Structure 1
């Protein structure tokens, strides 16, 4: 019998940063959680965040979730939780590359891996929010004792950016659109043109429209880097992460970087629609894709596996 996943206790590593604190705030305003454990090296900032969030709970009238600040070196002393969120990250630097960002954040992940393993215990799931979430999830699968199917990566932002690009092209409210991006978070992202809808009906786009939308969606990282903000997307990611957790708990398929095995050396965490089933995050059947999209997903999986192996080799 399939068991329902209910993440009542959540631990967030990197909870003083923009993304981690934002997610903690989102979860703290929901009645779906009993306890949110907050970990970070910056204890003063974390304590201040916790005071602020507790008062925000009072203002919002949502005080069920208990916020607990825990020193990072005491993670192993805690009872295992239902969900561990890795949100710690090095600051983004102007003109930085995805590859350099990967190496830096892989070092952060390695440093807190014992804490993640202790907090996840035998059954907890692990959500990677830090970028690049798909490659880091694959690296964690190879270097930890946590089963790969219990690890998943946050990837909803790519779909939001695809919808925004379609909205700009067609000059329609993005709330009327639905669209999905799977594959890799980066160059190998797969825009699922066959699944684009407007007001719930399939939307046909001509080649010129697709080319402009594709360039718009794929150009997001360059445009963001050109702004030199020195930070990540600190509003979209917390809201999207909270939504991802809620949908997985409700049994609703949601795009996440999920463990995908092909029987060869291309095992990796590839973004696909997935659900939680019997304590594991598993992809749904790929019947929502056409043949070209399936082939593109296979290429993305192979590229992700290669990036994870090269990143691990450089780190170790």
Structure 2
């Protein structure tokens, strides 16, 4: 690499470690700094990755503190708190995470004010919005992983169904990263051929089957958590993909959680839309013509998120 590219990860839980591993294994950056309240955990994870340098290359991994992040171009936030008990409400959990983020964002504004922040902690849309409100940096430098993971799952399932490489499937899930997310069927295509009402690879259009594929993608996290207790591997790859797009200044279009400013009549919320990313963060959004039903779905997503935001204390 011509110049040092430093990325920090706040939180060395399952998601943070998976992101670090993906970044390390793909050689996307020259330095990874792990920050956690548990210094020993962060140091242990850094040591474990460093022992793979022989096979990966000279990617430096170390533990650190906020003070060490002054040269980090991108900082990934995976830290957060889980439920204290099964009786704790979603709102109570949201408020506790908002409190955690006040401390995190305050430190990041102090020690790394120019870095781009990628929020990966759930509920990601809420916490992306909270981060933008708490931070003094340009909102375009704060984005959430959003529905890129949902979209990846969606395309993988469509690829399996049509026996096509998922990279040749062009279909998006937008809106909330959660139960109200919206599949954009009106724009879904394979090799430029719309999926709706067309036969592709000898498979005729079957709305019911395709709707079930979307539901399977939407509910995938629940199934994975039921089987292994948490999700981390695919979101780690998603984080690495976003970091790569930013540092390489790709100007790629991907569905991530950003602030909406009138797109499809929606404002004052963070959720996923096709966004252009580069070294300055979010450079813009792409808004293709979609169906009235899809717009209604996105507005419903926004309403649900705003209801949660109105009930939590941000400042």
Structure 2-normalised TM-score? 0.82
2:103 to 108, 111, 118: 111
CA RMSD between the two structures: 3.1
**SS of 1:267's equivalent?**
strand
Tell me if structure 2 keeps the 8 A contact 1:105–1:131. no
Tell me if structure 1 keeps the 8 A contact 2:47–2:62. no
4+ residue stretches of structure 1 with deviation over 4 A? 91-101
Tell me if structure 1 keeps the 8 A contact 2:119–2:145. yes
Q: Distance in 1 between matches of 2:44 and 2:254?
A: 33
- The answer to whether structure 1 residue 88 and structure 2 residue 75 are counterparts is no
Structure 2 spans left out of the alignment, 5+ residues: 197-204
Aligned to 2:141: 150
- The answer to whether structure 1 residue 39 and structure 2 residue 15 are counterparts is no
Q: Distance in 2 between matches of 1:247 and 1:277?
A: 6
Q: Distance in 2 between matches of 1:125 and 1:86?
A: 11
Tell me if structure 2 keeps the 8 A contact 1:47–1:69. yes
Q: Distance in 1 between matches of 2:4 and 2:93?
A: 30
- CA drift of 1:19 comes to 1.1
Q: What is the aligned residue count?
A: 299
Tell me if structure 2 keeps the 8 A contact 1:83–1:120. no
Change (3 A) 1:46 1:244: same
Aligned to 1:28: 24
- CA drift of 1:258 comes to 1.0
Aligned to 1:10: 7
Change (3 A) 1:215 1:37: closer
Change (3 A) 1:76 1:55: closer
Change (3 A) 1:127 1:196: same
Aligned to 2:200: none
1:290-305 → structure 2 map (5 Å cutoff):
290-305=291-306
Aligned to 1:50: 46
Deviations 1:2-51 (A, max 9, x none): xxxx992212110x211111212222234442322210112222112111
Aligned to 1:272: 273
Structure 1-normalised TM-score? 0.81
Aligned to 1:3: none
**SS of 1:20's equivalent?**
helix
- The answer to whether structure 1 residue 250 and structure 2 residue 250 are counterparts is yes
Deviations 1:193-237 (A, max 9, x none): 12323355321244323432343233334434544x432x21101
- CA drift of 1:85 comes to 0.9
Q: Which moved more, 1:22-31 or 1:218-227?
A: 218-227
- The answer to whether structure 1 residue 309 and structure 2 residue 301 are counterparts is no
Tell me if structure 1 keeps the 8 A contact 2:252–2:278. no
1:275-290 → structure 2 map (5 Å cutoff):
275-276=276-277, 279-287=280-288, 289-290=290-291
Change (3 A) 1:222 1:11: closer
Q: Distance in 1 between matches of 2:163 and 2:133?
A: 44
Q: Distance in 2 between matches of 1:157 and 1:252?
A: 16
Q: Distance in 2 between matches of 1:288 and 1:19?
A: 35
- CA drift of 1:278 comes to 7.6
Q: Distance in 2 between matches of 1:294 and 1:53?
A: 44
Aligned to 1:235: 233
Q: Distance in 2 between matches of 1:99 and 1:201?
A: 43
**SS of 2:311's equivalent?**
helix
- CA drift of 1:127 comes to 0.5
Q: Which moved more, 1:300-309 or 1:89-98?
A: 89-98
2:176 to 184, 191, 198: 184
Change (3 A) 1:278 1:309: farther
Q: Distance in 1 between matches of 2:95 and 2:37?
A: 20
